[in-house]
Amino acid sequence: MSGLLNASMINNYIKYYLYLPALLTGCFCLFSCENDTAEVDELFAQKTGVEEAENITAFLSQDAFVKAKLTAPHMFRYLTDTPYVEFNQSLHVDFFTDSVQIESTLDARYARYKEKEGLVLLRDSVVVINLLQKDTLLTSELWWDQNKEQFYTHKPVWVNQPGKQIYGANGLTASQNFDSYTFFGARGRVSSGTEALLE
């Protein structure tokens, strides 16, 4: 009987001593992985830089013509794999004709510019004024596609014309100089001086 107990005890000790190193190795690997993860996170944090600037003035030119002038009190530029610029304290843009006459203006309280895509997201009290047509566009969110020279939104939008108002419940698309619009889910009348499509 005691021989059997001794054999059982020996087997338990063998199992214990076999599993103990495996357990310790596993714990070491876990702690090692936690340290490596922290180091990797720190490495990526170092590679993601932020540039900050104040009193910004920038020009957009196409085909040797100045198309727009942007001014903003404050700007952050995030240097990531997909870099972007953030204007968190408002911005103002003047759009020019080829003769460098201001034809429209844009104001928003917040904007984010995706550099690689050439897209600008405008949010919070977005106001666009076409000085030549005397139109005013109001919306809560507007996208500006610089490559297509087009604005668009899926949010409700109002366009005030002299004596008239057009409401687009599902947004619109508009040319960059705002001389033509396409409204979605629109109500209202279109002035004869502006080319517009109601859908």
CATH code, 137: 2.60.450.10
- What integer pLDDT is reported at residue 28 of this predicted model? 35
pLDDT higher than 50, residue 35: no
179 and 105 in a common domain: yes
178 and 88 in a common domain: yes
82 and 37 in a common domain: no
Per the CB < 8 A criterion, the answer to whether 156 and 167 are in contact is yes
pLDDT higher than 50, residue 14: no
**The whole model's pTM is what?**
0.67
12 and 90 in a common domain: no
- What integer pLDDT is reported at residue 37 of this predicted model? 60
Burial 144-153 (b: 16+ CB within 10 A, else e): bebeeeebbb
151 and 68 in a common domain: yes
151 and 61 in a common domain: yes
- What integer pLDDT is reported at residue 74 of this predicted model? 95
- Could you give the number of structural domains in the chain? 2
pLDDT higher than 80, residue 1: no
Averaged confidence pLDDT in the chain: 77
CA distances (Å), origin 118, targets 113, 115, 124, 126, 149: 7, 5, 20, 19, 10
- What integer pLDDT is reported at residue 185 of this predicted model? 87
pLDDT higher than 70, residue 178: yes
C-alpha 30: how far from chain center: 37
Range of the domain at 147: 49-198
74 and 10 in a common domain: no
183 and 114 in a common domain: yes
**pLDDT tier at 36 (50, 70, 90 boundaries)?**
low
Measure the CA–CA gap between 168 and 184, rounded to whole angstroms.
5
What digits encode the pLDDT tens for the residues 104-158?
999 999 999 998 898 999 999 999 999 988 889 999 999 999 889 899 999 999 9
